[in-house]
A and B are shown apart, each in its own frame.
Chain A
Amino acid sequence: MSIDKDRLGELYGKVGGGNQTSLEIMGNNRDISVGEIFMIYSHRDGHERVFFFRVLGLENYLRQVDNMTRVASTLMVEGDAYLSGIERNMLLTIGGRMLGYAEKVGDDWTFRSPRRLPDHLGSVYRPVKGVSDDFVMEMLDCQTTGEIYVGDLQVGEETLDVPVLLPSKFLPMHVGIFGSTGAGKSNLMMVLIKSMIDNNLEAIRNPGKDLPRISAFCIDPHDEFAKGTDRYGIQDVIEDMSPSTRSDVIGDFYYLTTHKSATQRNIRKYAQEIRIFWSEIQPRDLYSIMEFTSQMMALIDAAYAKDRANWIRLILDMDEGSADSPIGTIRAVQRRLRAIERSPIFIEDGEKNTPSTLDDIFVAMETGRILVVNTSLMRDVEQFLLTTVVTRTLSDMRRALKSSGNLGDFEQQGKMRLPSRFFDRVKAKAKTFYGHGGVDNTSPVRDPRSLPVIQVTVEEAPSILNPELMRGQSVFKDISRQGRKFNIGLLVVSQQVSVLDNVILSQMNTEINLRLGNEREIRAAIENASVNISGFENEFRVMSRGEAIVTQSYRELPLPVRIPLFDDVYERDKNRYKEKRAKKEEEHIL
């Protein structure tokens, strides 16, 4: 094997010194920026390798000048001074991190963590857009391929045409999106949602390939995903689809909201109002989102034991002496439950003859669909409770499945774990999803890993994934630890890393780190990253909107990514949503 070095880009410099972790490069006087990625060709001991190096610091270096200050002052004082042949002596000393190296083993490129050194005075190449893209993509294939497009590989201020994707099989191992206000979280979410839709479309169009489908319950706290933040939104993607494709991809709806009548007209067609029955709420849903004293929990647990379907009403109707608890405790619990009582989305069973949306959410999530949930008109507690109920319901359904050998077992397990009214309504449907080769009780169940991957976004994550709440009986504690078994993952969105609980942070295997607000968050993001990115502090400090460092425990390379604007990716891809089958048939006829 011999690497065609011209495909690496332009020859930029030579390796000066350093070790397997950090290197110093002497390079030409070019307009280099922090964050650029260089490739170092090395041929040592018969091994041809390409090392990847990330620029973390730059310094001007003038050969033959020991005292730069003196030269600068002479140039100032002696107006007629020049610098002879200085162009070729103007160099840059570049310090940075070794990211790892690519080596071809057999026909495939492998990528390994930095555990070796490039050759003495190795040649350093700077990737050039339009020249290096294909080769970089080839070398980094195992680091960048997957199903969910995040953005393009960023080399400094430029990007290469090397898309960075997350593999869907790792989504159940939880994803964190961290970024301060204005860092581009909403745009990233829209790009991810579109990418999940694209993935599902691909799976639908290629049924023979057995491609994984992805479901997502996407909280949209500012109601911008459907409409978009600029010109286009997810609604445009949906509208571009032919009715049959749309039906396959989103079913009847993709947009959940508190007030359907207040929804923009074109979106309304695909909208549903969120209504969750009180009977579908379990005490631990509440314990996951707000703090209760042990006395309060005892009161709630007693009421739940008494009447699992009506425990909220039971407590709300309590008065002095109607329970063993002091009236103070009763009032305190009631005060907390008032939020549910006042909520338009949490309703008593059968109220106004409205069906529960939870059934449809369950079906959507088990059929590989994307739901955009407008929570802009919800109070925090409503949003958190909704997320919790949905997450717990989905995970309990899959937990019941995982605990069963056949559908008969599943029914038993489901009854035990889930609110009975909800389970009775959905069990028939559930059996069609979970049964392998039939729906009767003797049919074996499917492995949850063969079902769609479910991603549940947890917005404003510190409010519910903080150490105080996670210490108790939080639903999210279980999900973060065991979600992978059930193929359910959390998509944790937060402005801060430092305040999140360690349980969720340690279970998180993918982090998309956008620009962060302050030094404390930068430090926390670096400490929390699944790949060692120590030394990237400067880089975080200069990151712009839409730039991210993606770290994944299952990949060795921390990937700098530029997330494109949703409008741009939509413009690029909008033709893919048209029905292709009809055209093919036409061609066939011709």
Chain B
Amino acid sequence: MLEKILTEKFRRTLKMIFTDITNQQDRRDEQEFSKDEVRIKETLLDTIDPFPSDIILEEDFRVAAVDGSGTDSLMTLDDIRVHLLSTSTVVLNTNTHSENVFSPIDRETLEDEVGEQPQIHPHWHSGVRNDARTKLAESLEDIYPLKDIADLTLPFFRDYLSIGRTEFEEDTPRLRDMEVLISRGQLLTNPAVHEELRKTSEYAAIRKILESDLQPKYIFIDGAMSVFMHHVRHYPSMPSGFMLRDLCALARQKDVILCAVSKNHTIPFAHRIAKMAKDKFGEGVKWFCHLPCKEDPGGGLHIYEDRTYIPPMLAVPYLYSFSRDNRPSRIDFDRVWWLQNIFVPNNPKATRANEKALFSEIEFVSRDARWYGYPVPLALAHTSCKLSYEDLRLAREVCGDVLRELNQEGVKTDPLRADYDL
């Protein structure tokens, strides 16, 4: 392909595409953005007041993070796929009273509370069989520690109602088991199943932290706090949506702040907001920007009016940047928690003060030189859980060994394309 990529023709094609984007997409958004520009600049955007690097906190606190990784094709056996999931839980102590800031808590304590770290779980699934939904439900039940479906679904409905939402489909089926919670049964492709398994694994790990005596002040998770809803029935279309709300409710109860951080996000005009921050506050100043929803004072922003999941239901997103070298990231909080702890009705100043205090702490958690600007527990969890190609190769070798032990000689564990050297 190189001979094609390095041609002038390819460059011309790219130029046309970028021009097209500017002409069509940007122009439309630009109009919307111009409507929001003043509001963003004057109201939503603000600076973070970083802690001094030698700060000694009055009370050190713990920060935790969970991340997961996996593959939907550890092995393929005809129509069956073996999924491999890994999760890692990291708990650090701000430890400002000693020189060794943000040191991990000792491994023994951590593993006593949340089990061996990192964890791996293989699951098998067939996305093409009739019982795909049943099998997925079984796997999810197996993974998620809260087994009672009523307990699992209740937090969602409670939160949903608490933010003033009342629309429900009249003939909502009785949510009596996990299988019923999978309402996207027709779309259970392998990637979708894997995504659900992976989310559930991460959520299970978070639940373990919340149930433990570790008592972190923050738990960071990778991704957004979006809940994909059934368009008709108005509740989550997959069990992980219920699980997320279960976690949010439990976190509130335990006084833990759940933060979902997305490096990859689809907030429109994020780069323009970053530029605006730079122009307003100067180069290198750390900032955040609230992305309000239509229920917030002033309503939602025009720039994401036609983007269904921004802001996500039951969550409050912010854009932030803690380092001049990084593009802005997104962080979501539980809206119910936010309304209780950050938002002060009719008092934007107090709300801002709460936001600034929150971001000061999150920024402090994000100063590790290896991943400057990104929450360090999340980076450590990511490092610890990621499955490299080499890890997967070895895992496949082990699969082969086990199959041989089971007298299933001759079953190949490599990806099918390997048979053709592809």
Give per-residue flags for A80-91: 1 if the beta carbon is below 8 A from chain B beta carbons, else 0: 111111011000
* A83 contact set on B, CB distance < 8 A: 368-370
* B380 contact set on A, CB distance < 8 A: 64, 84-85
- Selected from B50, B101, B323, B383, the residue in CB contact (under 8 A) with A82 is B101
**CA of A82 to CA of B371 in the docked complex: distance in angstroms?**
10
* A64 contact set on B, CB distance < 8 A: 370, 380, 383
Given A64-B380, A74-B370, 8 additional A-B pairs, CB 8 A: A71-B370, A72-B369, A74-B372, A78-B369, A81-B368, A83-B368, A85-B380, A87-B100
Question: Is B103 at the interface (CB under 8 A from chain A)?
Answer: yes
Known: A64-B380, A64-B383. A81 touches B372 (CB 8 A): yes
Shortest beta-carbon distance, B335 to chain A, in Å?
A: 30
**CA of A552 to CA of B52 in the docked complex: distance in angstroms?**
61
Question: Is A75 at the interface (CB under 8 A from chain B)?
Answer: yes
Give per-residue flags for A31-49: 1 if the beta carbon is below 8 A from chain B beta carbons, else 0: 0000000000000000000
Cβ-closest chain A residue relative to B384: A64
Known: A64-B380, A64-B383, A74-B372. A81 touches B103 (CB 8 A): no
In the complex, are the beta carbons of A84 and B372 less than 8 A apart? no
Interface residues of A in 152-188 (CB under 8 A from B): none
* B252 contact set on A, CB distance < 8 A: none
Question: Is B223 at the interface (CB under 8 A from chain A)?
Answer: no
**CA of A355 to CA of B372 in the docked complex: distance in angstroms?**
88
Nearest 3 A/B pairs, CB to CB: A84-B102, A80-B53, A81-B369
**CA of A12 to CA of B221 in the docked complex: distance in angstroms?**
36
* A88 contact set on B, CB distance < 8 A: 104
**CA of A88 to CA of B104 in the docked complex: distance in angstroms?**
10
In the complex, are the beta carbons of B103 and A82 less than 8 A apart? no
In the complex, are the beta carbons of B367 and A81 less than 8 A apart? yes
Shortest beta-carbon distance, B109 to chain A, in Å?
A: 14
* B102 contact set on A, CB distance < 8 A: 82, 84-85
A-to-B contact residues, CB < 8 Å: 64-65, 71-72, 74-75, 78-85, 87-88
Some 8 contacts from A to B, beta carbons below 8 A apart, are: A65-B370, A81-B368, A82-B53, A83-B370, A84-B92, A84-B102, A85-B103, A87-B103
Majority DSSP secondary structure for residues of A touching B: loop
In the complex, are the beta carbons of B101 and A80 less than 8 A apart? no
In the complex, are the beta carbons of B104 and A85 less than 8 A apart? yes
In the complex, are the beta carbons of A79 and B53 less than 8 A apart? yes
Question: Is B376 at the interface (CB under 8 A from chain A)?
Answer: yes
Interface size on B, residues (CB 8 A): 18
**CA of A83 to CA of B383 in the docked complex: distance in angstroms?**
14
Known: A64-B380, A78-B323, A78-B369. A84 touches B103 (CB 8 A): yes
Shortest beta-carbon distance, B269 to chain A, in Å?
A: 27
* B92 contact set on A, CB distance < 8 A: 84-85
**CA of A71 to CA of B372 in the docked complex: distance in angstroms?**
9
In the complex, are the beta carbons of B369 and A75 less than 8 A apart? yes
In the complex, are the beta carbons of B50 and A80 less than 8 A apart? yes
* A87 contact set on B, CB distance < 8 A: 100, 103
**CA of A536 to CA of B376 in the docked complex: distance in angstroms?**
42
In the complex, are the beta carbons of B369 and A71 less than 8 A apart? yes
**CA of A171 to CA of B268 in the docked complex: distance in angstroms?**
85
**CA of A78 to CA of B364 in the docked complex: distance in angstroms?**
13
Cβ-closest chain A residue relative to B53: A80
**CA of A334 to CA of B114 in the docked complex: distance in angstroms?**
98
Cβ-closest chain B residue relative to A78: B372
Known: A64-B383, A85-B102, A85-B380. A80 touches B370 (CB 8 A): no
* B50 contact set on A, CB distance < 8 A: 80
Cβ-closest chain A residue relative to B102: A84
* B372 contact set on A, CB distance < 8 A: 74, 78, 81
Cβ-closest chain B residue relative to A84: B102
* B367 contact set on A, CB distance < 8 A: 78, 80-82
Q: Which of A79, A85, A87 has the largest number of chain B CB atoms within 10 A? A: A85
* A79 contact set on B, CB distance < 8 A: 53
* B52 contact set on A, CB distance < 8 A: 80
**CA of A83 to CA of B368 in the docked complex: distance in angstroms?**
5
Cβ-closest chain B residue relative to A71: B369
**CA of A136 to CA of B53 in the docked complex: distance in angstroms?**
48
